[in-house]
Amino acid sequence: MYALVDGNNFYVSCERVFRPDLNGRPVIVLSNNDGCAIARSNEAKALGVKMGAPWLGIRHLEEKEGLVALSANFALYGDMSDRMMSLVAGLGHQQEIYSIDESFVDISGIRGDLTDRSRRLRQRVLDWTGLPTCVGIGPTKTLAKLANHIAKTAERKPGSYPAEFSQVCNLAAMEREALQQVLAATEVREVWGVGPRIGQQLEAEGIKTVLDLTQLDLATVRRRWSVVLERTVRELQGTPCVDLEEAPPAKKEIACTRSFGRAVMDLGELEEAVTTFASRAAEKLRRQGSHAGQVLTFVRTSPFRPDKQYSRSIIVPLLRPTADTAALVEGALMGLRTIYRSGYKFAKAGVMLVDLSDACVEQGELDFEEGHGEGRCRLMTAMDALNRRYGRGTVIIGSAGTGEMPRNWAMRQERRTPRYTTRIGEIPVGKA
């Protein structure tokens, strides 16, 4: 038996914890570069603001409807997430943190009324962190996800489902007939694993509700679609096919990519950007204890603009698998210089580390050259420690630039709130 606990409009809720004046108002959080809406309060949803809507297309609502738009403050959201997750873990035996705002909890064999227990946990998270959540319970992860969707919808749109499902919905506690009614009242697109494409195909075949989907023949689903959808249907029927993953498996690739604040044409500026991205990716690589065998670098112009388009990527194999920032930056820059063409307005670049292996596994080799091995490893450890303690960017690779060069690539963030919980200088101050 699983519970899925999910934050409501998570990023907006994090902002509201420290800005209670935003309660009851339409609020959105914008993506990097203040580009588009990535989180919306219920009031913003009611105004018709869609997920992913470009900010400049909805900006008029700022004056007309009092819409508040904030730049993404991931330092804040990450820290609030940690607080929420540690409380949610108490709901059951094991927890899988599935994303920044949701986690699955294995609640098999927990005694007592699970619905009641979940309501109390939900209240505790709200009291202790200020974050509103909803809980879905079901015999499989897919059903728990669905239950969570129902709990949220019942809360947000009274009348859409029976009021008792608001905030906490336990599909496992329902009679067969009541369950079928709920499944028949839920669109097939709401199912975890059914995206826009497959949703459209299903609807075209007359499969409009979740109930319709659960009644399909498994062999047909496999033949017509895939084993993936077949697994989803089995899960909806109550047969667990997806296990809880308590410890996340190591990443198979690690990326750092960014759209630029303004168009970049100059190779020198791109070199600074790519150095910064490769350094950041290397940091993530060391944190998971891996080495990379190859570095992929890409640059591209904006497909949304009428300008001349150019998009290219290149993979540079490294001399040996490494987690050394200098070696990874060197590879990334070598790739960049190969694919760079002048005369284009570049809008985005990125570095991806691939062909990852465990750092413990090392190929022996005849040591003809200095400059790698133990010493470099200690240098990286020291660099990471300094950057952790004194803030990102305290110690950098020189080619990341020191600010003499224009930084058109730097992202725009005009509306970011303070990092209330992670920077001593930005802590909120109360007045009596």
Partner DNA sequence: TCTGGGGTCCTAGGACCC
Beta carbon nearer to DNA, 195 or 393: 195
Long-range (24+ apart) CB contacts under 8 A made by 43-48 are: 44/12, 45/156
Provide the minimum distance between the beta carbon of 140 and DNA in the complex, in angstroms, as a whole number.
15
Task: Provide CB contacts within 8 A for 130, sequence distance 6+.
Answer: 13, 16, 17
Distance CA 172, CA 34 (A): 42
- Our finding on whether 98 is near DNA (CB under 7 A) is yes
Beta carbon nearer to DNA, 110 or 359: 359
The answer to whether 38 and 14 have CB atoms below 8 angstroms apart is: no
Amino acid in the structure at residue 153: T
- Our finding on whether 152 is near DNA (CB under 7 A) is no
Provide the minimum distance between the beta carbon of 431 and DNA in the complex, in angstroms, as a whole number.
36
Amino acid in the structure at residue 63: E
Q: Which residues of 401-424 are buried (b: 16+ CB within 10 A; e: fewer)?
A: beeeeebbbbbeeeebbebbbeee
Contact pick of 173, 184, 218, 227 for DNA (by CB under 7 A): 227
Contact pick of 180, 302, 357, 422 for DNA (by CB under 7 A): 302
Contact pick of 67, 100, 168, 400 for DNA (by CB under 7 A): 100
The answer to whether 397 and 345 have CB atoms below 8 angstroms apart is: no
Contact pick of 109, 304, 342, 430 for DNA (by CB under 7 A): 304
**Adjacent-strand bridge partners of 255:** 352
Secondary structure class of 424 (helix, strand, coil): helix
Count of positions on this chain that bind DNA (CB under 7 A): 48
Amino acid in the structure at residue 301: T
- Our finding on whether 139 is near DNA (CB under 7 A) is no
Starting at the edge strand found earlier in the chain, the sheet holding 254-264 runs 254-264, 346-358, 290-301, 311-322
Contact pick of 145, 286, 291, 300 for DNA (by CB under 7 A): 145
The answer to whether 186 and 209 have CB atoms below 8 angstroms apart is: yes
For residue 358, which of 245, 247, 250 has the smallest C-alpha distance? 250
Contact pick of 109, 112, 159, 196 for DNA (by CB under 7 A): 196
For residue 172, which of 150, 195, 200 has the smallest C-alpha distance? 150
Binding mask 335-364 for DNA (x = CB under 7 A): ------------xx-x-x------------
Q: Which stretch binds DNA (CB under 7 A): 32-40, 80-88, 179-187, 334-342?
A: 32-40
* Residue 155 φ then ψ, to 5°: -75, -40
Binding mask 164-183 for DNA (x = CB under 7 A): --------------------
Q: Residue 36 corresponds to which tokens in the numbers above?
A: 């588009």
Provide the minimum distance between the beta carbon of 328 and DNA in the complex, in angstroms, as a whole number.
14
- Our finding on whether 308 is near DNA (CB under 7 A) is no
Q: Which stretch binds DNA (CB under 7 A): 75-83, 112-120, 249-257, 388-396?
A: 249-257
Strands 68-71 and 27-30, bridge-based pairing: parallel
Beta carbon nearer to DNA, 54 or 238: 54
Residues 67-86 interacting with DNA (rule: CB under 7 A): none
Contact pick of 257, 309, 338, 394 for DNA (by CB under 7 A): 257
- Our finding on whether 56 is near DNA (CB under 7 A) is yes
Distance CA 106, CA 1 (A): 6
Which strand (E) or helix (H) includes residue 44?
A: helix 42-46
Contact pick of 192, 340, 344, 420 for DNA (by CB under 7 A): 192
Q: Which residues bind DNA (CB under 7 A)?
A: 31-33, 35-36, 38, 52, 54, 56-57, 98-102, 145, 191-199, 226-228, 249, 251-259, 262, 284, 302, 304-305, 347-348, 350, 352, 411
